[in-house]
Amino acid sequence: MPEHRLTPARFFAAWGVAFLVMGTLDGLWLGWLALDFYKREMGVLMSDSVRVGPALAYYLLYPAAVVFLALTPRPATLRMAALRSAALGLAAFGVYDLTNLATLRGYTVTMTLIDMAWGTFATAAGGSAAYRWVLARSRSA
């Protein structure tokens, strides 16, 4: 199947799917599965409570970037969508984590590697879901 441009409706639908998948995964990861790990690794760097404004801005902007950068023009296959999304996740989380490792006292290599792996996975999952549930269902997206 050849690559196509996204219509605005398909873009926003794909963004919505990526937003839901990545937000849900991050909620589970940061709020339950890896919470103790992050507290232990980040120590005093970690806030006692989430700042809603910056978190909301991230969850609104990052899925849009995934759809725009990894899924536009539409990949021909789910595998390519996953690969593009994973590459974006690795780059985005790599910038964040490697900068923190280079500039913050106490930011560990373990934290860097785990967070980069998580970001790669979560971005690939969000991009793949957006592709599967929105983009692959439309021949003219």
Q: Label residue 4 by pLDDT band (50, 70, 90).
A: low
- Tens of pLDDT, residues 17-35: 999 999 999 999 999 999 9
**CA 50, 46, 37, 16 torsion-angle sign:** positive
- Predicted model pTM: 0.92
Q: Return the closest-CA partner of residue 45 out of 120, 101, 114, 98.
A: 101
For the chain, give every domain's residue range: 8-135
